[in-house]
Amino acid sequence: MKAVPLSYIVRNLWVRRVTTMLTALGMALVVYVFSTVLMMSEGIRATLVATGQSDNVVVLRKGAGAEINSGIDRAQAGVVHSLPGIAADALGRRLVSSEPVALNNLPKRGSGKPSNVTVRGASEVGLELRPQVRLAQGRMFRPGTSEIVTGRAIADGFAGAGLGETLRFGGREWTVVGVLDAGRSGFDSEIWGDSEQMMQAFRREAFSSIVFRLVDAGDFERTRAAIESDPRLTLEAKPEIRFYAEQSEALATFISILGSVLSVIFSIGAIVGAMITMFAAVAQRVGEIGTLRALGFRRGAVLVAFLAEALVLSLVGGVAGLAAASLMQTVNISTTNFQTFSELAFRFTMTPVIAAWTLLFALCMGLLGGFIPAWRAARLSIVDCLRAA
């Protein structure tokens, strides 16, 4: 079946510029919302996934779900520390870190609104266990002191958390001696201090979690079985990557469901707009349709021509919306992660998959909006078209 030339299709869109722009604008806005939501969800996942190392293992109290709900007493911690299969660093230190985690309600810079910030009792070993975390400014805290280092998002976003400033909690003043760059992972939103000092300050007798690295990542199953079957322990072990992936599940899923539902609802508006435009285009060009059919173009060619016009229209809108959404990548946002109850800074993240889904969504809108008008155009009889022209 011979097709109507593409130049005919594209030029018709150009000739009715105002209408084309308005319709494409409606679609672009819907696409923008759709894409941004996916990017938000992806940004949360990406941040938390970047937080996990493939050969690290996280141990929590069984059934706790999050570090703040978990308690591991010193005796149990000791048992985990002495497990076989734990790697050692160049200095011969075992790469295992028992960490108390607490939430500190701190006011943000500017707005003064309070938000829960994760405070982690760490150590040099803890830093080694997270190779993606480095010191961007200043130095690491000295063990046994009231010195702390803050993640970049916290240093920027919260009052008193910048280099050289002081925070007050747990009955004492803490000096920020360094700022961490955690490579856009969850640790950018944390405050680290000496583990024992934190235990004292928060009057704790139990750690929240234990992180260690295995010599051989393949050993995980055996190690996990050993932990979970040990009668002295009421703990569970997870690969760090999975632990953090689970931490983002609820929030990321909530956002993507909310956003997708909204996008679908909005798309009805854009589809209606496309339908109105295409119906008008068909009505205006009834004479041309008759001419093309008289010349010998098939009904199918007419259908495809108008459908293609709708698709080109939606592609224009889709690309515009995608471009606008891409700009969002420069925006830093943060929110409280429902599961950990603490602040998480992240970015809108664009991926090729999101771009592909977005364009597909745009094309679907064009298809749905353009189909009925195109089908109607193809159904017209030649004689009626010519008479109506």
Partner 1 sequence: MNPGTPAESSPLIRIRALSKAYQRGAQLIPVLQGVDLEVHAGEFVALMGPSGSGKSTLLNLIAGIDKPSGGCIEIGGVDIADLGEGELADWRAANVGFIFQFYNLLPVLTAAENIELPLLLTGLTRRERREHVHAALAMVRLSDRSDHYPNELSGGQQQRVAIARALVTDPQLIVADEPTGDLDRVTGGDVLALLGDLHRQLGKTILMVTHDPKAAACAERLVHLEKGVLLSDGVGLSS
Partner 2 sequence: MLLLRLLLKNALRHKLRTVLTLIGLVVAISAFGLLRTLVDAWYAGVEASASTRLVTRNAISLTFTLPLNYAERIRAVEGVSGLSWANWFGGVYITERNFFAQFAVDPSTYLALYPEYVLSDAERQAFLRDRQGAVVGRKLADKFGWRVGDQIPLRGTIYPGIWTFTLRGIYDGAGANTDEQQLLFHWKYLTESVRQRPGAASSKVDAVGIYVVGIADANNAALISQRIDTLFRNSLAETLTETEKAFQLSFVSMSEAILVAIQAVSLIIVVIIMAVMANTMTMTARERVAEYATLRVLGFGPAFVVRLLAGESLLIALAGGVIGIVLTFPLAGVVGQATGTLFPVFQVSDLTLVLQLLAALVIGVVAAAWPAWRMSRVDIVSGLRQVA
Nearer to partner 1, 354 or 378 (CB): 378
293 binds partner 1 (CB under 8 A): yes
- In sequence order, the β-bridge partners of residue 56 are 213
286 binds partner 1 (CB under 8 A): no
- Which option in partner 1, partner 2, none does residue 299 bind, with CB closer than 5 to 8 A by kind? partner 1
How far apart are alpha carbons 314 and 367 in whole angstroms?
8
278 binds partner 1 (CB under 8 A): no
Determine contact, residues 19/278, Cβ cutoff 8 Å: no
Segment near partner 1 (CB under 8 A); pick from 175-183, 186-194, 196-204, 291-299: 291-299
5 binds partner 1 (CB under 8 A): yes
How far apart are alpha carbons 127 and 140 in whole angstroms?
9
Nearer to partner 1, 19 or 146 (CB): 19
Nearer to partner 2, 234 or 291 (CB): 234
Cβ at position 4, least distance to partner 1 in Å: 8
Nearer to partner 2, 116 or 175 (CB): 116
Cβ at position 288, least distance to partner 1 in Å: 5
Nearer to partner 1, 55 or 288 (CB): 288
- Which option in partner 1, partner 2, none does residue 120 bind, with CB closer than 5 to 8 A by kind? none
Segment near partner 1 (CB under 8 A); pick from 2-10, 56-64, 246-254, 328-336: 2-10
Tokens describing residue 125:
């070993």
Cβ at position 117, least distance to partner 2 in Å: 8
Q: How many CB atoms lie within 10 A of CB 124?
A: 14
How far apart are alpha carbons 55 and 180 in whole angstroms?
22
From first CA to last CA, the distance across the chain in angstroms is 25
Cβ at position 324, least distance to partner 2 in Å: 11
- Which option in partner 1, partner 2, none does residue 286 bind, with CB closer than 5 to 8 A by kind? none
* E runs forming strands in the chain: 56-61, 72-73, 96-99, 101-107, 114-122, 134-138, 147-151, 166-169, 172-181, 190-194, 206-207, 209-213, 235-239, 332-337, 342-347
- Contacts of residue 78, defined as CB under 8 A and 6 or more positions apart, other chains included, come to none
- Choose, by CB under 8 A, the member of 157, 186, 290, 317 that binds partner 1: 290
- Which option in partner 1, partner 2, none does residue 78 bind, with CB closer than 5 to 8 A by kind? none
356 binds partner 1 (CB under 8 A): no
- Which option in partner 2, partner 1, none does residue 90 bind, with CB closer than 5 to 8 A by kind? none
Residue 230 vs residues 9, 225, 349: alpha-carbon distances, Å: 72, 8, 42
- Choose, by CB under 8 A, the member of 75, 264, 388, 389 that binds partner 1: 389
Residue with token string 């931490």: 247
How far apart are alpha carbons 203 and 233 in whole angstroms?
23
Window 309-338: contact mask with partner 1 (x via CB under 8 A): ------------------------------
Segment near partner 1 (CB under 8 A); pick from 9-17, 154-162, 167-175, 245-253: 9-17
Determine contact, residues 243/48, Cβ cutoff 8 Å: no
- Which option in partner 2, partner 1, none does residue 8 bind, with CB closer than 5 to 8 A by kind? partner 1
Cβ at position 274, least distance to partner 1 in Å: 20
Q: Are strands 332-337 and 114-122 parallel, antiparallel or unpaired?
A: unpaired
- Which option in partner 1, partner 2, none does residue 294 bind, with CB closer than 5 to 8 A by kind? partner 1
Determine contact, residues 294/287, Cβ cutoff 8 Å: no
Own/partner pairs for 162-166, CB < 8 Å, 24+ apart?
A: 163/137, 163/138
6 binds partner 1 (CB under 8 A): no
Q: CB-side exposure of 232: number of CA atoms within 13 Å?
A: 9
